[in-house]
């Protein structure tokens, strides 16, 4: 009976609690949700989905990326100006790794086991093929780490770039202008690739009271980043080059990005508005300090739906060229010895460097060049085998469209 009495008392207490709680009003808060789809993923002038062109064997262009789903949820806390945001990006095309060299090898991006048998100019091509295959099989039988000869997909899947960013920030309008600050954690979250990493930034923003539409934001990286094995688009020649280079656009420890953007808009009709923005980004990282990009965008909003067009113009090639900074060839024009520099904006052309036909053709050109150029280290870093890399100019201007729907709770 005692237990039953206690139970009844608890039930009555629970039932009466809401009536008591009505005297205390809960603090106000809101949630903003945006479901966006973009036709490419650009980040401060960098084309993060450049590997889509590599997958398709096409030259890099102003719009050769892939569609992505980029949702955003912002929690506006009861503390005025304090917010927390969760933002994501997930490629909708070219997600899985693809075999772009299409040659027999023992690992992704590995050496072509049939190269000696497929290059007519090689003196040993008649005996190289079985020798290479037999050696690979024997190594596997002996317990070597290399795999059996086969067709392996290279590390170019865009799912490697699945991303979730977490931001906590505060912004307030004051007598001296609108000020804000916060912390952003950029994370690559696809657990199929344990080498994925990310980086953290702090930021500060300011706008004058006389011109609140013009905002200055300074971002500073406070943690390292390791994208080298998984996400960096590579434009090097041949199968091994697909995931070998480290793009100069990769943020580094203690790097900064300073953005100055003018944003405004106006109402076209009831529930219909037009927003626009334009600005410039100044970057600083190891051995580079210069204007990085110019950007602009226009967005039409109607009853929660939106469609926009965005354009970015790259400025200093050193932020985007895959050639290492500080390894130029002195006074010798780089192209004479088959090389490229970080300042010329020239990268390997995926349309001419992927696939067995291109590989064979480029190998033959390299063989001929080594015999006729008179330059002993043609195309090599320090006097070695000759190489030939068909290059293209990086696209100066990139663009993408965005469509989606947003609402508030």
| 348-362 pLDDT, tens digit each | 889 888 887 888 787
DSSP summary character for residue 317: G
- Which one is predicted more confidently, 380 or 192? 192
Element (H or E) spanning 10, and its range? helix 2-21
- The dihedrals phi and psi of 351, each to the nearest 5 degrees, come to -70, -15
380-404 residue pLDDT tens: 444 445 567 788 899 999 999 999 9
Q: What's the pTM value of the predicted model, to 2 decimals?
A: 0.77
Note the pLDDT of residue 287: 80
218-240 residue pLDDT tens: 999 987 544 433 333 444 433 33
Q: Which two tokens stand for residue 62?
A: 């102003």
Q: Which residues have C-beta within 8 Å of that of residue 222, sequence separation ≥ 6? A: 200, 201, 202
Note the pLDDT of residue 183: 97
Average pLDDT score over residue span 58-84: 96
Radius of gyration of the chain (CA): 28
Note the pLDDT of residue 388: 74
Predicted confidence band at 76 (pLDDT cuts at 50, 70, 90)?
A: very high
What share of the chain in percent tops pLDDT 90?
Answer: 47
- Which one is predicted more confidently, 152 or 47? 47
Checking if the pLDDT of 162 tops 90, the result is: yes
Note the pLDDT of residue 227: 40
Question: Which of 152-161, 230-239, 338-347 has maximum average pLDDT?
Answer: 152-161
- Which one is predicted more confidently, 274 or 197? 274
2-46 residue pLDDT tens: 444 444 443 444 444 454 455 578 899 999 999 999 999 999 999
Checking if the pLDDT of 268 tops 80, the result is: yes
What share of the chain in percent tops pLDDT 70?
Answer: 69
Q: Which CA distances in Å does 337 have to 16, 160, 174, 246, 376? A: 85, 35, 59, 22, 9
Lowest model confidence (mean pLDDT) among 4-18, 162-176, 283-297: 4-18
Q: What mean pLDDT is reported for the chain?
A: 78
Q: Which two tokens stand for residue 101?
A: 């060299």
Note the pLDDT of residue 324: 64
Lowest model confidence (mean pLDDT) among 126-135, 210-219, 347-356, 366-375: 126-135
Q: Which residues have C-beta within 8 Å of that of residue 16, sequence separation ≥ 6? A: none
Average pLDDT score over residue span 102-128: 59
State how far the Cα of 132 lies from the Cα of 139, in Å rounded to an integer. Answer: 11
Average pLDDT score over residue span 354-372: 76
Average pLDDT score over residue span 235-252: 39
Note the pLDDT of residue 137: 58
């Amino acid at each position: 009976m005692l237990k039953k009495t206690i139970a009844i008392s608890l039930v009555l207490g629970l039932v009466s609690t809401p009536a008591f709680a009505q005297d205390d009003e809960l603090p106000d808060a809101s949630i903003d949700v945006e479901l966006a789809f973009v036709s490419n993923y650009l980040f401060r002038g960098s084309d993060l989905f450049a590997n889509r062109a590599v997958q398709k064997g096409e030259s890099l262009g102003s719009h050769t990326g892939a569609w992505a789903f980029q949702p955003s949820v912002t929690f506006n806390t009861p503390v005025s100006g304090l917010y927390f945001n969760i933002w994501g990006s997930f490629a909708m095309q070219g997600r899985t790794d693809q075999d772009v060299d299409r040659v027999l090898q023992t690992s992704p991006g590995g050496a072509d086991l049939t190269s000696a048998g497929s290059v007519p100019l090689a003196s040993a091509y008649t005996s190289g093929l079985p020798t290479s295959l037999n050696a690979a099989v024997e190594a596997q039988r002996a317990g070597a780490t290399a795999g059996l000869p086969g067709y392996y997909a290279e590390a170019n899947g865009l799912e490697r770039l699945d991303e979730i960013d977490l931001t906590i920030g505060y912004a307030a309008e004051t007598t001296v202008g609108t000020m804000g600050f916060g912390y952003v954690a950029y994370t690559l979250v696809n657990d199929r690739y344990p080498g994925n990493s990310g980086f953290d930034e702090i930021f500060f923003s300011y706008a004058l009271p006389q011109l609140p539409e013009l905002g200055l934001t300074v971002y500073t990286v406070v943690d390292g980043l390791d994208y080298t094995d998984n996400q960096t688009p590579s434009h090097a020649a041949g199968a091994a080059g697909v995931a070998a280079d480290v793009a100069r656009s990769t943020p580094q420890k203690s790097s900064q990005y300073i953005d100055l953007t003018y944003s405004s808009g106006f109402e076209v009709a009831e529930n219909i508005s037009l927003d626009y923005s334009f600005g410039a980004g100044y970057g600083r990282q190891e051995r580079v300090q210069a204007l990085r990009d110019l950007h602009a965008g226009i967005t039409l909003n109607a009853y929660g739906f939106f469609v926009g067009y965005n354009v970015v113009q790259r400025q200093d090639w050193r932020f985007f060229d895959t050639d290492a900074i500080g390894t130029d060839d002195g006074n010798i024009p780089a192209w004479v010895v088959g090389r490229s520099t970080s300042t010329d904006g020239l990268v390997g052309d995926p349309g001419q460097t992927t696939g067995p036909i291109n590989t064979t053709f480029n190998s033959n050109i390299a063989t001929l060049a080594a015999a006729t150029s008179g330059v002993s280290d043609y195309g090599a870093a320090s006097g070695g085998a000759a190489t030939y890399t068909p290059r293209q100019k990086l696209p100066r201007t990139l663009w993408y469209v965005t469509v989606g729907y947003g609402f508030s709770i």
